[in-house]
Structure 1
Amino acid sequence: MPDYEPPLILEPPAGTGVRASVIWLHGLGASGHDFEPLIPELGLLERGVRFVLPHAPEQPVTINGGAVMPAWYDIREPDINAVPDADGIRRSVDYLQRLVAAEIAQGLPSGAVLVAGFSQGGVIALHAGLTHPAPLGGVLALSTYLALPEALSREMPPANRAVPVFLAHGTADPVVPFALAGAARDRLTGLGCAVDFHAYPVPHTVSLDEVADIRAWLAARLAPWLD
């Protein structure tokens, strides 16, 4: 079983209490440092939001010739959704839910904890966030898809249909086809989830317009805990 290193944690400035937290998972081949430069641009650290940036474990990735790299789960086929690594996905979902539990154990209500992820990290954030036993404050999922949609439909508690979901995707994404984003939106909407869907004319990346939309969405979701 792969090992998970301790996450990178960005705390609010000294003297500012922690009122909420965002746990943000990176994509394949990256690390918790990947989105570190973005965090100050969101303007939330100084308002009492802790950011937890986990590192995926090192493991072989079949589609990359078995090369060992940071990965939340294996990708076995060029069609990323053809043969999902259900065991690997569930290991990382369990890990993320343990990180959520650690935030709650420090005194935060579940509604003050949000999960986020890019690409592979978004797969884990969606499944973990929407199947968590208590409703979280929101799920931010970027350039990603639902790897286990049938399981999610079975396992999502009814109360989690009210959890806000931000889905964003590049229309020119060659890694995670844009059609998978639409399928995720349609599946979640069909389950009764409140989905805020955004499309941008970019490849497999995060655009400046997307960052502005993320900033506004996070501020709105966290407002009850920060104001």
Structure 2
Amino acid sequence: MNLDYIVREPEHITPETSVLFMLHGYGSNEQDLFSFRETLPQDWIIVSFRAPGSTQFEGYSWYDINFNNPDEFINVPQATESLNSVLESILKIINHYGITQGKTHLCGFSQGGILCYALALQYPEMFNLVACLSSYPEEKLMPAIVKDKKKLEELRFFVSHGTDDAVIPLEWGRKAADLLYDLNCYFTFREYMSGHGVNQKNYMDLMEFFSK
């Protein structure tokens, strides 16, 4: 399925141009993370996807969530379908711009971050910088995590979580640090005094990560 998205293009696009793909959280939309574009590198293509499912208040979701049952916190078939759509759309867009040498980056918040983990750890050779904000790695979406250190060595993760997150517990976010450590991945893990969101300090650290 082709996903809707909005895009900011740099003045010049070459085969070496980098692309950043953004995946918003549950109940949000493609405008949300796209607001980061002002402070992201000017020579990147910035693509922000809209999730395929709809929620109340004109929001969108990558999959349904059952808040009453932790075992069904994630609708696996829907999430898997969304993952495939994102992957397909990423490949199409990279192909459309003729990017053969450029780097491909990911940034996801909450549900979007969960999908970013699944994409990066299953297709590591496709990606470089990966930011997962207020999210966690969901094992049910990663039937096969690539354990080959050689394939994982190009990945750089930025993981952030609010200490008072009432939607996705901090403990879940910390799982990412354990997993990435076990996989020998390069990663930064930061906790911020905030709820389920990105505060000013978190934002500045994230921009520094992407501009390095």
Q: Shift of the alpha carbon at 1:181?
A: 0.7
Does residue 1:90 correspond to 2:75, yes or no?
A: no
Structure 2 unaligned blocks of 5 or more: none
Residue 138 and residue 73 in structure 1: after superposition, are their counterparts in 2 closer, same or farther (change >3 A)?
same
Amino acid at match of 1:198: R
Counterpart in 1 of 2:5?
7
Distance 1:54 1:134 in 2: 21
Deviations 1:191-211 (A, max 9, x none): 222221111000011111111
Counterpart in 2 of 1:155?
145
User: How many pairs are equivalent?
Assistant: 207
Counterpart in 2 of 1:213?
205
Q: Could you tell me whether the CA contact under 8 Å between 1:139 and 1:166 is conserved in 2? A: yes
Does residue 1:132 correspond to 2:132, yes or no?
A: no
Residue of structure 2 aligned with 1:37, choices 35, 38, 41: 35
Counterpart in 1 of 2:46?
51
Does residue 1:17 correspond to 2:9, yes or no?
A: no
Q: Shift of the alpha carbon at 1:143?
A: 0.3
Counterpart in 2 of 1:225?
none
Q: Shift of the alpha carbon at 1:154?
A: 2.5
Secondary structure at 1:155 match in 2: coil
Q: Could you tell me whether the CA contact under 8 Å between 1:141 and 1:167 is conserved in 2? A: yes
Distance 1:32 1:169 in 2: 21
Deviations 1:160-186 (A, max 9, x none): 422111101111111111110111211
Secondary structure at 1:130 match in 2: helix
Counterpart in 1 of 2:25?
27
Q: Could you tell me whether the CA contact under 8 Å between 2:2 and 2:89 is conserved in 1? A: no
Amino acid at match of 2:137: L
Q: Could you tell me whether the CA contact under 8 Å between 1:80 and 1:176 is conserved in 2? A: no
Residue 187 and residue 34 in structure 1: after superposition, are their counterparts in 2 closer, same or farther (change >3 A)?
same
Root-mean-square deviation (CA, aligned residues, Å) is: 2.4
Q: Could you tell me whether the CA contact under 8 Å between 1:110 and 1:137 is conserved in 2? A: no
Residue 91 and residue 146 in structure 1: after superposition, are their counterparts in 2 closer, same or farther (change >3 A)?
same
Q: Could you tell me whether the CA contact under 8 Å between 1:7 and 1:54 is conserved in 2? A: yes
Residue of structure 1 aligned with 2:108, choices 107, 117, 133: 117
Distance 1:187 1:148 in 2: 10
Distance 1:55 1:30 in 2: 9
Distance 1:174 1:89 in 2: 22
Structure 1 unaligned blocks of 5 or more: 221-227
Q: Name whichever of 195-204 and 91-100 sits farther off.
A: 91-100
Distance 2:135 2:71 in 1: 11
Distance 1:154 1:51 in 2: 28
Residue 84 and residue 103 in structure 1: after superposition, are their counterparts in 2 closer, same or farther (change >3 A)?
same
Counterpart in 1 of 2:195?
203
Q: Shift of the alpha carbon at 1:88?
A: 1.4
Secondary structure at 2:131 match in 1: strand
